[in-house]
């Protein structure tokens, strides 16, 4: 078993909303724990407002967590402030964003975008920078590299821009890459190319990927493990094939039923659900956050918050009905 | 030709209604934005009560077609040729006043970001009343009651006529717009990416409601989206657009089980399956062309896996001659040299 370069423990983030007198807190991320292993892609799925992007941004140090820790090679980096320490962390953990149009500077060439991280992080001696830029472009399939490097972002298509963003992330030779919906703004026919590139990088460079998405089919295609988030909490986790073949949490099941897929075997008839959603994370009361939408809720669900319970086979679920805590050891207790 | 034909042949789609009168006919429609021809010679029929899907990538011209059907193209866009016939009448020659009456009453449209089109300082019910009273003589009270009824049909409590748009979620606002589009019982509703900005669970709810209402009221739908898997579920018939042209059109089940155009095959192979064996997919190499300077011959040839210089005669035709959309089986049309040659 290889050591996880990155581990998240009890990660929690609250955002204050409302005025000073009527202050409420969105529990955007609550007690989230998982690890990212080398050569493994972990998918983090959920609907908008579930907190999945916030998790990625907390790991990338774009927000400060309210509680919990982000351990990089064993030491907590979630509160490092010194410039050197932050730089060292960022040279190991990189992020790719959803919008390939907004993440590149329109007045700078592609070469500029790729040279910058090489200089800032002193990855290679000055004389080798040009050659390294070309290597990076070739790695992400942008050829001929010399020509592409001379171009400006507007001269590239969305898919090519996302490849530049990936090349930029790779420039510092990171151990961990956080990809936040990297294909959702791209055309259908070029999404697979980006997913295949991530698969290749995982294998060739043993990068640990976090793939944040709302698309279950692409998560299945790409990922080894899967975490399902709902209203700030992880409600189910496990190997992706196992989770999708036999979802334990009613929310995972609802997501699966809703995916457009001709002949979806999870959809017996109409997909029924009750109302609810991300608002369940605003000053949550005791009880399961999914209870208002849950088709199988029982009395206890609105009174007692379920724990994420290990159910064997590397899987865990947060549900009183399908993964009762009695007799089974709570995941938290094990930590 | 490729392995995509392995898709399940038993796609559970609603059977198309028996062929009825043609409601909307596009004949050799061409639309230009300045010197860029965004839609180039498109033929498309929509029968009464039929759900027709139009799929393609961004920039392929599918939204331009929607705007042309509604006659809401704004300069620099203009119809450069062809006609848009609604119940046999050409819309391209109609005056603004005639078109104003025609829109919403005969054809209505829901845009992707339509939910942002609601007036933020007006109650939802009043926006219904305004729209309905602009088109028919109806009392305020009756219009409000009708608004409440329409909201119920899309799954919103009728008391929400008193709500302001900001009090509704994105999915609810989109449903309000769909309810408005149905208010005057038009014969045709154009849905342009109606659920793309929404979560998958909300999208599912809205699609189900659209299908249920459509079965009851029997209006025709032109459903435009980039998501082919969604169309395979909802549409009776699907047309695939590429670079301003329709390259294939067939009943949904036929298209899913026997796609003939390499582009359609590539699109179908771009959606990883949620079940069954998982293989490495290839997608489609390259990117859609710049329509200011479209490729010669078949517009798909630079990305086509079957366009090889080694097959000399075919290669010359693929790179110099535009393939015509031809019916190869009843209701199945395709524009591809490979199909014409019988090598597909």
Q: How buried is residue A171: exposed, middle or buried, by Cβ count under 10 Å (0-12/13-18/19+)?
A: buried
Nearest C-alpha in A relative to B253: A262
- C-beta pairs of B212-218 under 8 Å, 24+ apart in sequence: B213/B153, B213/B154, B213/B182, B214/B51, B215/B14, B217/B182, B217/B185, B218/B17, B218/B48, B218/B49
pLDDT at A329: 46
Contact criterion met (CB below 8 Å) for A328 and A309:
yes
Contact criterion met (CB below 8 Å) for A207 and A201:
yes
Instruction: Dump pLDDT digits (tens) for B185-244.
Output: 899 999 998 887 778 888 888 888 889 889 988 999 999 998 898 899 899 999 999 999
A192 contacts in chain B (CB < 8 Å): 269-270, 272, 281-283
Cα A253-A255-A259 angle, rounded to 5 deg: 120
B302 contacts in chain A (CB < 8 Å): none
Segments of chain A with pLDDT less than 50: 265, 268, 327-335
| B229 HSE (CA, 13 A, CB side) | 24
The span from the CA of A234 to the CA of A29, in Å, is 9
Domains contained in chain A, CATH given:
6-92+174-334 (3.40.50.300), 107-173 (no CATH)
The strand ranges marked E within chain B are: 22-33, 36-47, 51-55, 77-86, 89-90, 107-110, 188-192, 220-225, 237-242, 245-251, 326-329, 332-334
* B100-119: burial string, b at 16+ Cβ within 10 Å, e else: eebbbebbbbbbbebbeebe
How far, rounded to the nearest angstrom, does the alpha carbon of residue B305 sit from its chain's CA centroid? 27
**Helix/strand/coil percent split, chain A, to 5:** 35, 20, 40
Instruction: Dump pLDDT digits (tens) for A226-272.
Output: 999 999 999 999 999 999 999 999 999 999 988 877 655 455 455 55
pLDDT at A47: 85
SS3 B305: coil
Write out the H or E segment, with its range, that includes residue A159.
helix A158-171
Query: What is the DSSP-derived secondary structure letter of residue B12?
Result: -
Write out the H or E segment, with its range, that includes residue A213.
strand A208-213
The span from the CA of B323 to the CA of B318, in Å, is 8
> What are B77's strand-pairing partners?
B33
Contact criterion met (CB below 8 Å) for A55 and A81:
no
Q: At CB < 8 Å, which residues of chain B contact A?
A: 7-8, 10-13, 57-58, 169, 199-201, 203-205, 207-208, 226-230, 232-233, 256, 266-267, 269-275, 278, 280-285, 287-288
pLDDT at B20: 61
Asked whether the ipTM of the predicted complex exceeds the cut of 0.85, the reply is no
Please state the domain extents for chain B.
116-181, 259-341
How far, rounded to the nearest angstrom, does the alpha carbon of residue B103 sit from its chain's CA centroid? 17
pLDDT at B10: 42
pLDDT at B3: 44
pLDDT at A156: 86
A256 contacts in chain B (CB < 8 Å): 274
pLDDT at B190: 94
Indicate the residue of A260, A273, A277 with minimum beta-carbon distance to B229: A260
Distance from CA of B302 to the nearest CA of A (A): 14
Cα B127 to Cα A203, B5, B119, B131, B144: the distances in Å are: 56, 48, 8, 6, 10
Q: Cβ contact (<8 Å) for B227 and A262? A: no
Indicate the residue of A159, A187, A255 with minimum beta-carbon distance to B226: A187
Residue B309's contacts (CB-CB under 8 Å, 6 or more residues apart) are B315
Write out the H or E segment, with its range, that includes residue A17.
strand A6-17
Phi, psi of A252 (to 5 degrees): -60, -40
Distance from CA of B133 to the nearest CA of A (A): 33
Contact criterion met (CB below 8 Å) for B8 and B262:
no
Q: What is the dihedral of CA B8, B14, B15, B21, to 10 degrees?
A: -140
B61 contacts in chain A (CB < 8 Å): none
Indicate the residue of B203, B233, B273 with minimum beta-carbon distance to A217: B273
pLDDT at B12: 45
Cα B318 to Cα A262, B37, B42, B302: the distances in Å are: 33, 20, 20, 10
The span from the CA of B191 to the CA of B197, in Å, is 13
Residue B51's contacts (CB-CB under 8 Å, 6 or more residues apart) are B14, B214, B220, B221, B223, B234, B235, B236, B237
Residue B133's contacts (CB-CB under 8 Å, 6 or more residues apart) are B140, B143
Segments of chain B with pLDDT less than 50: 1-15, 17
Q: Cβ contact (<8 Å) for B10 and A221? A: no
Beta carbons within 10 angstroms of residue B63's beta carbon: 20
Give the pTM.
Answer: 0.84
Q: Cβ contact (<8 Å) for A191 and B203? A: no
Q: In terms of residues, how long is chain B?
A: 344
């Amino acid at each position: 078993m290889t050591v996880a370069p990155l581990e998240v423990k009890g990660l929690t983030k609250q955002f204050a909303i409302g005025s000073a007198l009527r202050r409420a807190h969105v529990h955007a991320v609550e007690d989230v724990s998982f690890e990212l292993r080398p050569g493994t892609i972990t998918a983090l799925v959920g609907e908008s407002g579930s907190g999945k992007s916030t998790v990625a941004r907390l790991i990338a140090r774009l927000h400060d967590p309210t509680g919990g820790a982000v351990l990089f090679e064993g030491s907590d980096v979630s509160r490092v402030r010194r410039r050197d320490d932050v730089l060292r962390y960022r040279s190991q953990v990189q992020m790719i964003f959803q919008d390939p149009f907004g993440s590149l500077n329109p007045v700078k060439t592609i070469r500029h975008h790729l040279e910058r991280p090489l200089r800032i992080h002193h990855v290679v001696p000055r004389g080798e920078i040009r050659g390294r830029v070309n290597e990076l472009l070739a790695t992400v399939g942008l050829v001929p590299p010399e020509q592409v490097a001379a171009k400006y972002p507007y001269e590239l298509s969305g898919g090519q821009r996302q490849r530049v963003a990936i090349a930029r992330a790779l420039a510092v030779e990171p151990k961990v890459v956080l990809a936040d919906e990297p294909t959702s703004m791209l055309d259908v026919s070029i999404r697979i190319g980006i997913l295949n590139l991530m698969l290749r990088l995982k294998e060739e460079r043993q990068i640990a990927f976090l793939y944040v998405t709302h698309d279950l089919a692409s998560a299945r295609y790409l990922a080894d493990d899967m975490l399902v988030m709902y209203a700030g909490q992880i409600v189910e986790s496990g190997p992706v094939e196992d989770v999708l073949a036999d979802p334990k949490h009613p929310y995972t099941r609802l997501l699966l039923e809703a995916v457009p897929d001709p002949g979806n075997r999870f959809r017996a008839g109409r997909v029924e659900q009750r109302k609810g959603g991300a608002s369940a994370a605003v000053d949550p009361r005791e009880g399961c956050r999914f209870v208002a939408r849950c088709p199988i809720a029982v009395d206890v669900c609105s009174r007692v918050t379920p724990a994420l319970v290990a159910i064997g086979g590397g899987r865990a679920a947060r549900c009183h009905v399908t993964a009762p805590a009695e007799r089974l050891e709570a995941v938290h207790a094990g930590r | 030709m490729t392995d995509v034909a392995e898709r399940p042949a038993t796609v559970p789609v609603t059977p198309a209604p028996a062929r009825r009168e043609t409601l909307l006919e596009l004949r050799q429609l061409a639309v230009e934005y300045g010197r860029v021809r965004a839609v180039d010679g498109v033929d498309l029929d929509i029968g009464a009560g039929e759900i027709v899907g139009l799929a393609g990538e961004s920039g392929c011209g599918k939204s331009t077609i929607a705007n042309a059907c509604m006659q809401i193209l704004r300069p620099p866009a203009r119809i450069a040729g062809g006609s848009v016939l609604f119940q046999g009448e050409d819309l391209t020659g109609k005056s603004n006043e005639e078109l104003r009456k025609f829109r919403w009453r005969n054809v209505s449209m829901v845009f992707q970001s339509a939910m942002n089109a609601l007036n933020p300082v007006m109650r939802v019910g009043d926006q219904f009343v305004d729209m309905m009273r602009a088109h028919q003589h109806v009392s305020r009270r009756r219009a409000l009651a009708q608004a409440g009824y329409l909201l119920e049909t899309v799954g919103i409590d009728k008391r929400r006529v008193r709500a302001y748009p900001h009090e509704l979620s994105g999915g609810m606002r989109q449903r309000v717009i769909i309810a408005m589009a149905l208010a005057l019982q038009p014969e045709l509703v154009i849905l342009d990416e109606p659920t793309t900005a929404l979560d998958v669970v909300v999208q599912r709810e809205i699609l189900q409601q659209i299908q249920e209402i459509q079965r009851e009221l029997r209006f025709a739908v032109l459903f435009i989206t980039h998501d082919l898997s969604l169309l395979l579920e909802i549409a009776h018939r699907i047309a695939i657009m590429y670079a301003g042209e329709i390259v294939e059109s067939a009943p949904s089940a036929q298209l899913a089980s026997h796609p003939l155009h390499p582009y359609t095959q590539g699109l179908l192979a771009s959606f990883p399956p949620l079940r069954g064996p998982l293989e490495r997919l290839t997608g489609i190499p390259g990117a859609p062309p710049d329509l200011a300077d479209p490729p010669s011959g078949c517009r798909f040839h630079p990305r086509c896996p079957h366009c090889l210089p080694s097959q000399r005669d075919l290669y010359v035709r693929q790179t110099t001659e535009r393939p015509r959309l031809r019916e190869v089986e009843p209701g199945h049309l395709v524009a591809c040299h490979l199909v014409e040659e019988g090598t597909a």
